[in-house]
Amino acid sequence: MKRNGPSEKMKKIMERVVGAGPTLASVAPLFVYQRDPLFKLEVLASVLNDVPPDSPDHSLSELIERIVTCSPEKQEWVRQKELAHIIGPVPCTPAPGSPLYVLNKFLQSSPCILRIEGLKRARGKIEVHAKHIPLPEFAGMSEGVDRILWLLWEVFYRDIDLTRLKNCPICHKWFVDHSKNKSKVRCSARCTWQRWSWEARKAGLGKRKTKGGKHAKATKA
């Protein structure tokens, strides 16, 4: 996948801004990676990070975590043999109870219409995009859930790699892994340093206990 990611200069500028104001940490990637193919995932991560843990919308956030950590191959599927051709792949639907099955239920409860609009740039270039408009009879749905479902629809429709969307095990914030081999585990250098400091303290504590045990045995002897 060809990337139009940010330059090193742009990254350093945004790191300085975020360092000066930690509250901007979740917004910064939206500016840094605006031209990147994974921009939609950055927006999705930002929306998910704005959902409070005690909100009813948090159930959708937990569902996304299940979808991300459990690949489609590991989920259960039901073959639709009656729709299959004589030769070729067999159509399947997510099995009841699977994460993708639950996601389909959410999507059924959030129908919308699309309106094509455009943005005219300075040089006269028109960028066409689809605007998502919820149907009036479903206007009572939470705005957070509606935005999350719409972004997920775009991610699946555009075949964007959803496995790059990750949840940091240290601060529990959502982030997008832009590394080539998808090896990033934590959202920032700060969280990585915190993890290393925990491990260092744990290792030091273990050594102290071992030394203490040896010293006690020597005293008894």
The residues near 78 (Cβ < 8 Å, ≥ 6 apart) are 92, 93, 94, 95
Predicted local confidence at residue 1, as pLDDT: 45
CB 42 within 8 A of CB 30: yes
**Most confident option among 31-45, 47-61, 73-87:** 47-61
- Mean pLDDT lowest for which of 19-28, 146-155, 205-214? 19-28
Q: Which of 48, 73, 78 is nearest to 63 (CA)?
A: 48
pLDDT above 80: residue 15:
no
Copy the structure tokens of residue 49: 């990070």
- Mean pLDDT lowest for which of 3-17, 66-80, 100-114, 184-198? 3-17
Question: Taking the model in full, what pTM does it have?
Answer: 0.65
188 pLDDT tier (thresholds 50, 70, 90): confident
Domain positions in the chain: 38-187
- What residue spans of the chain are helical by DSSP H? 8-20, 28-32, 39-49, 58-69, 99-108, 143-157, 189-220
pLDDT above 50: residue 20:
no
Give the whole-angstrom CA distance, residue 115 versus residue 130: 6
Predicted local confidence at residue 61, as pLDDT: 86
38 pLDDT tier (thresholds 50, 70, 90): confident
Q: Which of 111, 79, 73 is nearest to 95 (CA)?
A: 79
pLDDT above 60: residue 19:
no
